[in-house]
Structure 1
Amino acid sequence: RDQAQEALMGAYADLTAQGTPTRQASVLTGISRATASRRQQRPGPPTPREMVPANRLSCTERAKVLAVLTSDEFVDATPLQIFAELLDRGIYLCSVSTMYRVLRENTLVKERRRQARHPARTVPELVATAPGQVYTWDITKLPGPIRGVYYDAYVMIDIYSRYLVGVHVHARESGPLAEEMMREVFAIHGIPEVVHADRGTS
């Protein structure tokens, strides 16, 4: 129905544009003159326009701003620092926000200071390909027969076979006792290439 109404309105407009009196055009199309008058006076939808700021930088000006931002003098500075330094010299290129916008357009919004590059540190790792190469040892607490009484278990393991090469239990931690256990283990199983311990008190 709307399309038919619009077609009749178009015919009415064509007739009146060619000099047909509005009364006769109304009789021929069935559109009342009041309706036609309202339709003709109704404003059409506004055409969207892109709002371009009057102070928008040209391509040449944007290229100049980018050249300043990436120059050797300012490559480590933030836009705010660059803006202040240029103002001290009596130079105004653009606002700080425009500087950020230019950097963003060129995917340069990031940490601008030169960062120290440290090579990735390799975590030391002990690898054994056969028994008897690497032993690891530690001292752990064992609960005694009554509450509050503990014993110290000196344990040494072959990391390749997971075999317990030595276990001593004493009433306290002591360097000479640990040395005694190691001498006994080495006498039986041989001296390994590496004896490993964590950074604890042992």
Structure 2
Amino acid sequence: MNKRNISKLLIFLMTASLGAVKAYGYAEAEQSVLTDVQPAVAIEKQTSSIENASANGETGAHTGLQSVFSIQTNGTDSDYDFIITSKILTDGGEVSAYGNNGSLLFGNTLAAPTQAAIDDAKAGGSSNKNVIAYPVTTVITNPMTVGFEQNYGIYGDCYVVKVNNGTEGTVTHTVGQNPISGTYNIGQDQAGTYQAVVTFTAVSK
């Protein structure tokens, strides 16, 4: 094949290609690709939490305690129950450590209090050996809200968090330094470590 024939062949192919575009017109196909993002939540204990303190043996006043949690979620209040619960060890097992007014009860870890002592402290009485109750202040980042509820469904006495369509926030659960009147008595509260456990949980509905 000489040079002239090659040139003609190239011209023919180009012309045929252009003719094909005009002959077949336009075609298109579209497809939607979808993925469902499920509700999710992350809760973490923050380093600003103060988990250990010392208490004055004469007054029961402590040096400062607070639980700080962060929350991130793409879910809503319809997806989760956001709950802060607590527990204290009695001689018969673990029970809620929240008092009737949202106070937090601490129990002696080596001489566990009785259920009767727990009930008395929750009611603000004075017959509560080896139990000390302290007031609690709980705050959360806007637009989220938090409030204390008694006998809240399956969770019992607890703090209920509402995210109100917020996506992230910080819950600060601060224990007052002075015990509630009647719940600390140098004559009935043995020396030792007193403990309460606070838990922030998101439960899928």
**TM-score of the two chains, using structure 1 as the length reference:** 0.20
Q: Which has the higher contact order (CA 8 A, sep 6+)?
A: 2
Bigger Rg, which one: 1
**Which structure has more strand as a fraction of its residues?**
2
Question: Normalized per residue, which structure has more helix?
Answer: 1
TM-score (norm 2): 0.20
